[in-house]
Structure 1
């Protein structure tokens, strides 16, 4: 499951979407607040914030080409990869204007009611960018989304190959934490036959085990949820006993259509 996280309204009726999967059109249709109008080619989608350059998080940008312009907030390595690999600028240029804003570790205002900052995670490149660039941890980032007027903060990291100290500190200070729940345990990809690599070898720390993330989240004051579940993860079954294991630790699994108000 890929759960798109919507930020608080950057201004009246304007929203940022975190990552753009290929089915973003269907997701917009299922979310009344994101429906276009009232004017022609008018959309409440203010822009898209990207946590990485993987295709499953970026191909949906092309579905937004009918807007007058698309604001993309991304780190420098992600921007350069998308321009050089899928040639996003050249492909979409005849349809709409791509407005790039650089995402860094300093808070970036996305409007009067929202700011975003990156927590560098790993130098994991998408396959189409293999061999390019250096070992810059800004290839994959977690986000710290903050509402300045209230100080409420959400940490979002759908792809975590590592858990740096900066992420731990951000999670400890947050009101809500939503992170990578791709695999339940380290050997799941190999055991289920989908890969010869382990979970962490595929760029996703598992939930359970000594290398897992559950023990890092347990006891935090924030509401903590998992997202980005692979179809091999037993948590995709709402009746699986592992949901109770998480609940006993105060942890949850995010669901489609879930609305979280901080």
Structure 2
């Protein structure tokens, strides 16, 4: 199984356009050791030809251009993207759908009923695509009892489970969370049995998750914030990381402590906010991750299982 990181940053990317935090300002001025990152997305393939895209960030056109396998050039109109799985309905994971509107071939969209509702009502991106390429919507089951496949991407099987999270601000049920607002996915290559657990938005380790993570040869999880009060401490927000659906890396119950329980897997943090000190490659926080064998995703990262 080939997993390619198209983008590793949280919403807004790194540096964020309107942010002058020490990370963003330092990257622009060249005073810190760090890499630019676009907004989070991965693609996965078993054969290296047909790919499943997870989320479509606003940076999707740049991401496709920087990864040639997604444009194999077999015909006048072509794409290596066989299907698109949406983890949630957030802007930074769905806006790129509008950039993929050209052509007559319908986009194969896999998402939960909740995400489909949000993207046909509060933020009707899927309705807009109906005026261009159109879509085929495939409902994702979220109870973990059944798996699904993307016919155009042979050799891969997907099992999704609902995660506790809030729907986007434009969702009709913003203040009434439903199962399926956000999901995590266990990706399996059927020929080898290799598995990757992918959950870029993970606010809590719920009881049904350890058994799934234990199966994984690679665990790619929420790397948004280093501390629970990161945005409060910088004066950028009045809410904690956990209250907006992101388990921080540090502290009791943090992602470092969680990932230490799975030494069998390659462990990678993705969806990293621009304020997070782990973006600085020589920071004390990055050294702490290294000590635990935890990696920080970057644009262009390849993982072969």
Same fold (TM > 0.5): yes
- Aligned residue in 1 for 2:130: 93
| Residues 160-189 of structure 1 deviation map (CA, whole Å, 9 limit, x = unaligned) | 122112222111110000000000010101
Structure 1 residue 59: Cα displacement: 0.5
- Aligned residue in 1 for 2:253: 211
Q: Please say if 1:108 is aligned against 2:145.
A: no
Instruction: Work out the CA distance in 1 between the residues paired with 2:100 and 2:254.
Output: 36
Q: Please say if 1:21 is aligned against 2:47.
A: no
CA 1:131 to 1:219, structure 2 compared with 1: closer, same or farther past 3 Å?
Answer: closer
- Aligned residue in 2 for 1:41: 77
Q: Please say if 1:235 is aligned against 2:278.
A: yes
* TM-score normalised by structure 1 residue count: 0.95
| Residues 47-81 of structure 1 deviation map (CA, whole Å, 9 limit, x = unaligned) | 21111110110000111111422111111101111
- Aligned residue in 2 for 1:226: 269
Structure 2's unaligned 5+ residue stretches are 1-8, 10-38
- Aligned residue in 1 for 2:296: 253
Structure 1's unaligned 5+ residue stretches are none
CA contact (8 A) 1:3 1:255 kept: no
- Aligned residue in 2 for 1:160: 202
Q: Please say if 1:121 is aligned against 2:158.
A: no
CA 1:4 to 1:90, structure 2 compared with 1: closer, same or farther past 3 Å?
Answer: closer
Instruction: Work out the CA distance in 2 between the residues paired with 1:137 and 1:90.
Output: 23
CA contact (8 A) 2:277 2:286 kept: no
CA contact (8 A) 1:16 1:47 kept: yes
RMSD: 1.6
By relative contact order (CA 8 Å, sep 6+), the higher-ranking structure is 2
- Aligned residue in 2 for 1:76: 113
Moved more, 76-85 or 177-186: 76-85
